[in-house]
Structure 1
Amino acid sequence: MDKDVEIGIFGGTGIYDSGLLEDAKEVDVDTPYGKPSDTITVGTFKGRKIAFLPRHGKKHTIPPHMINFKANIWAFKELGVTRIIAPSAVGSLKEELEPGHFVLPS
């Protein structure tokens, strides 16, 4: 198993396959907390080793309240991940926040 992965990316709703990774392979990781959401895709992007895991599973079968977050984080740690990128999609009731806007909560 790879232990030299630098960056882990959790895909959210709408991001099930990064499509960015070269030499991609699927890795199955067991954890003390059970199985992660799915197999993890490990590959390279611009010379960096990246792990990609869709948090809802590759077929979006896991609802938010059933995601095994502990297993997902543990699996990344097992691969050597030291940085995590975790984009997510949410809605808003504010008209000025239209679909497609990028928001950083404060």
Structure 2
Amino acid sequence: MGEESKKAQERVKEIILKHKGFDNAISSREINEEIDVDNVGSFPGTRQIIRTLIIDEEIPIASSGNGYYVVETEEELAEYLESLEGRMLSIADRKWAIQRAAVNWEEDIESSEDRDLL
């Protein structure tokens, strides 16, 4: 990780640690306004830094429609884990649905020798 990336990660860590609890969330837009690593509206660099803080630094950062926050209570953790579980199930449903649709699709989908999806 380069020096600029380390600085951005440390700055995001400082910012996020000030946002404890669901009611004190901060959006990726607000974080990026302080660290300026993204010029794309979905803020992929900012989101990647947050993932790194969760995985590598083991900071319990959750997210909601309002942004990111450090988990303060077991209830917040439980609600966030339930939210993730629901999203995982939704993605799995979509995965199986598209594979089923591709298999049943009446038009040709070029097959591959390296894959066995159809």
TM-score by length of 1: 0.29
Higher helix share: 2
